[in-house]
Structure 1
Amino acid sequence: MKRLITRGLMFGNLIEVSSPQLVARYNRALRMLIGRETALSDFHIDLSGYSPEIGDEFGDHFYLNPNGANRQFILLTTAQKEAPLLNIRFSTSRSILTRFIEANEAQLFALTARDVVAGELQGSVYAVDSPAKLLDLRRVTVEADTIGGHVADAGKLAGLIERFRREPDGWRDEALIAGMIQLARRTGDVTRVPIHLPAMSFEQPDFWTSLFGGLYVFQGQKFPAVISRGGVTGLGQMPVGQVMDFTHRNHIADWLERNGLVEPIVQARGTNGGAILRQKMDFILLDAADSLGIDVGDARRTELRKVAYKLGPALPDEFLGLAAMLRWVEEAGPWPQISSEHPAYFYTLRGRPGPDRDLVNMLLSELSPMDVRQLFITHKERFYEDYRGWSEKKREYVADFLAREYQVDKEGAREALFGPEPKMDELARPDMREGPKPTRELRDIVGPWGAMRPGQGRAQGERR
């Protein structure tokens, strides 16, 4: 992993904690949250305040998330909102924490100037001891305060001030006045500089979790479902309409289509489908060459083309399917027949714009794992897991490619691949129980690859 770290592809943008004052504040928070302290004099923290170095010291990298369902966090600075979130158990955790910080940034900036802020992402269950419990995690509430209780004290002081103003003889109540003075010494003048950090709740009907081998939970769709990376037999009874695993390719494809969650890359607005297909084909060739021990030199496209010539009839079906699609894009071939049973099928799709776009792209990356760029962008946990099993040559090539082609312009690369980022109002979904109602075009009705291209007399694609 050192190769990834040195290129900023792992543990990048962590916040350094090295001043004695900040270390002392962090230890105060640790004592309150878990009853332990670190002996380290400097370390780095992520968005939630988790430190890989302290995780090594404690022998527990989930020291801020012991039960897996209610992640605790420590804020030393609002700059943590730009840091990554490590050891993710739920895909929604990063966006929830980031939105909480941004919504309360002025208050948090003032509070962290005097003390450390600690809190928790509270779900509706205290422990997830069975897969069925995941379906109870529909809402997450974020509550936070300083270790010194400034927010709680400010609330008490505001109440006493209101009582003082309301009661006719309040100015004679010495106990009331003494209480106000005592609280004001800790909070300051809350009438001029209010301290208010309300609990915030976020809906999470759809999410991925690393628990139970990796599950995708979709409860906010018209047709709810749970999709498992492993088998479905060990999940037990799940109170949801459809339960699938990655071997159920036809069922997953049909479910994605019925909910209007995907679109073909080559027909997505504002996308250079040909360039994306070529890069996916390069990754597939690299994987095939690596598994067969074929030298790819510096893995330039000319070298990879030679690999394709060497493989000949042994070229992977994923490569052949994307090559057929590329020929159609370049107006040099017929509309390809790629059904959901074809190994290339999920490589040809991306998440449709909407609140679940990133989650769907995350799912697609696991269904098309040879596309290492999409895997890294949308599902770093799976990327790091797969990376450990690659050869040194593939590790070097992929790390170099990501540092060269992705790190220099992350936002541009994401927009080119997946479209513009969803707006905040698109992410807010107070109630999605009825599911989205996307516009159904002809290609949606007959399947992504069942529609005619312009000028064709009839559809040539397969229907599922």
Structure 2
Amino acid sequence: MNRLIQHGLMFGNLFHVASPALVDRYNRALNHLSGKTTKLTDFHIDISGYSPEVGDELKDHEYLNHQGVNRQFILLSMEQRTAPLLNMKFSTSRGILKEFIQQNEAQLFALTARDAVAGELVNSVYDVSTPARLFDYRRVEVEADTTSGAVKDARELGRLVGRFKNDKDGWYDDVLISEMITLAGKTGDITRNPVKLNAMSFDQRNFWTAHFGGMYLFQDVEHPAVIAPGGKDHLGELPLEFVFDASEPNRIAQFLTLNGLAEPIFEGRKDWAADVLRQKMDFVLIDAVTSAGGDLSGTTRADMRSLARRFHRDLSEEFHALNALVNWIETGSKWPLITSDHPAYFYTLRASDTKDAALVNMLLAELAPKDARQMFICHKELFYDTYRGWSEAKKAYVVDFLVAEYQVDKAGARDTLFGHDAPMEEPERVPVPDMIAKVGPWGAVRRR
């Protein structure tokens, strides 16, 4: 994994905790949350305050995420909002933390100037001993305060001030006045500088979880289902009727279609689709070449055609199907029928423009595992796990590609791949034949 770390593809953009003041604040917050402290004087933290170095020291990488639920967090700086979330157990956690920071930006900026803010993503589930318990994971509330309790003190001072104003004998209540003076010494003038964090809660109905081998729960859609790509036999009885795994691609495709969650890659972007598909072909080709023991030293994109000829017999069905689709787009050749049970089917899709687009692209990355770029962008946990099993040649090629062609323009790459992130204007819709408009570019999804 050192190659990934050295190129900023793993543990990248973490916040560096190096000053004694920040280390001291971190320790106060860590002790407040868990009763533990670190002896390190230099480490890095993610958006939640989790540090891989501290995890190694404590021999506990879930020291802020016990049982994988109700994730705790430590905020030392507003710079953490751009950091990734490591050891993710729920796909919604980073978005919740980022939204909380954005909605309370001014308050958190003031609070973290002199103390750490510690908190927790609270829900009613305290253990996930069975898969069925995940369905109780419905709403997440954010609770936070400084280690010195500044927010709590300000709230209490506000209550006392209200009592003082409304009680006709307030001027004569020495105990009340004394309490107000004591709290004001801690909080400052809350009338001019309010110390308050917005109470925030988030509905969590559609999400991915790392528990039980990885599961996608889609409850807030017209046709709910659970998708467990790694297998469903161990899940037991669940509250939803439909549960699919990777051995049922046709049923997963039908689920995506019925709920309007996915669309062909070239939908509205046909001029770019051929380039995207050709890059997917490159990754499929590299997988075949490295599996056959081929040498990739010094390989560039210009060498791909030569490699495809040399290893023609080793190329998989995905490569040939994607190549036929590129030819259809660019030359108007015969339309390739790629049904939902074809290995290339999920390589040809991207998420539709819905609130769950990121979750769907995450699922598609898992269903199209040879596309290393999409896996890295959409499902880093899976990427890191998969990366460990690759040959050195494939590791080197994928890292070089990500550094040269993704890191330099992340926004542009995402827009090209997914199409919904940044249009200043609606992309022009490319008309398709009536038959394709009715049944999709690769025929109707067959029912099993």
Give the TM-score taking structure 1 as reference length: 0.91
Q: CA deviation at 1:192?
A: 1.1
Aligned residue for 2:85, secondary structure, equals: coil
Contact 1:263-1:448 at 8 Å conserved across structures: no
Asked if the contact 2:254/2:445 (under 8 Å) is kept, the reply is: no
| TM alignment of 1:21-420, pairs within 5 A | 21-269=21-269, 272-420=272-420
Range 301-310 or range 361-370, more displaced? 301-310
Describe the SS at the equivalent of 1:235.
coil
**Distance (Å, rounded) in 2 between the aligned partners of 1:420 and 1:239:** 33
Per-residue deviation, 1:334: 1.1
Q: Which amino acid aligns with 1:15?
A: F
C-alpha deviation, 1:244, in angstroms: 0.7
Structure 1 equivalent of residue 8 of structure 2: 8
1:231 CA drift (Å) = 1.8
Would the alpha carbon gap of residues 233 and 143 (structure 1) be closer, same or farther in structure 2, given more than 3 Å must change?
same
Task: Tell me how far apart the structure 2 counterparts of residues 181 and 300 of structure 1 sit (CA, whole Å).
Answer: 71
Bigger drift between 385-394 and 291-300 goes to 291-300
5+ residue gaps in structure 2?
424-433
Aligned-partner Cα distance in 2 for 1:82–1:67: 26
Question: How many residue pairs get matched?
Answer: 437
TM superposition shift of 1:363: 0.4
Q: Which residue of 2 aligns with 1:457?
A: none
Question: Per-residue deviation at 1:124?
Answer: 2.1
Q: Residues of 1 paired with 2:150 and 2:267: CA distance?
A: 54
Equivalent residue of 1:16, what SS? strand
Please name the residue that 2:430 is paired with.
Answer: none
**1:294–1:307: 8 Å Cα contact kept in structure 2?**
no
Q: TM-score, normalised by structure 2?
A: 0.95
Which amino acid in 2 is paired with 1:315?
Answer: L
Q: Residue 439 of structure 2 corresponds to which residue in structure 1?
A: 446
Cα contact 1:232–1:243 (8 A) shared by 2: yes
**Contact 2:253–2:445 at 8 Å: present in 1 too?**
no
Q: 1:187 to 1:211 in 2, by over 3 A?
A: same
Amino acid at match of 2:69: A
Question: How far did residue 15 of structure 1 move?
Answer: 0.6
Check whether the contact 2:288–2:314 (CA below 8 A) recurs between aligned residues: no
Question: C-alpha displacement at 1:267, in angstroms?
Answer: 2.4
Question: Shift in Å at residue 237 of structure 1?
Answer: 0.5
Cα distance in 2 for residues equivalent to 1:50 and 1:200: 22
Contact 1:138/1:205 (<8 A) preserved: yes
Cα deviation for residue 6 of structure 1 reads: 1.1
Residue 332 of structure 1 deviates from its aligned partner by: 4.0
Counterpart of 1:415 in 2: which secondary structure? helix
Q: Is the 8 A contact 1:265 1:271 kept in 2?
A: no
Determine the C-alpha separation between the residues in 2 that align with 1:47 and 1:313.
47
Looking at structure 2, the residues matched to 325 and 79 of structure 1 have their Cα atoms a distance apart, in angstroms, of 44
Q: Is the Cα contact below 8 Å between 1:55 and 1:62 reproduced in 2?
A: yes
Give the drift of 1:419: 1.3
Residue 223 of structure 1 aligns to a residue whose secondary structure is coil
Contact 2:250 2:445 in 1 (8 A): no
Contact 2:103/2:198 (CA < 8 Å) preserved in 1? no
Distance 1:442 1:141, change over 3 A: farther
Report how far residue 34 of structure 1 moved: 0.9
C-alpha change, 1:271 and 1:66, in structure 2 (3 Å) is farther
Distance in 2 (alpha carbons) for counterparts of 1:269 and 1:444: 15
Distance 2:226 2:19 in 1: 46
Over 4 Å off, 4+ runs: 441-445, 461-464
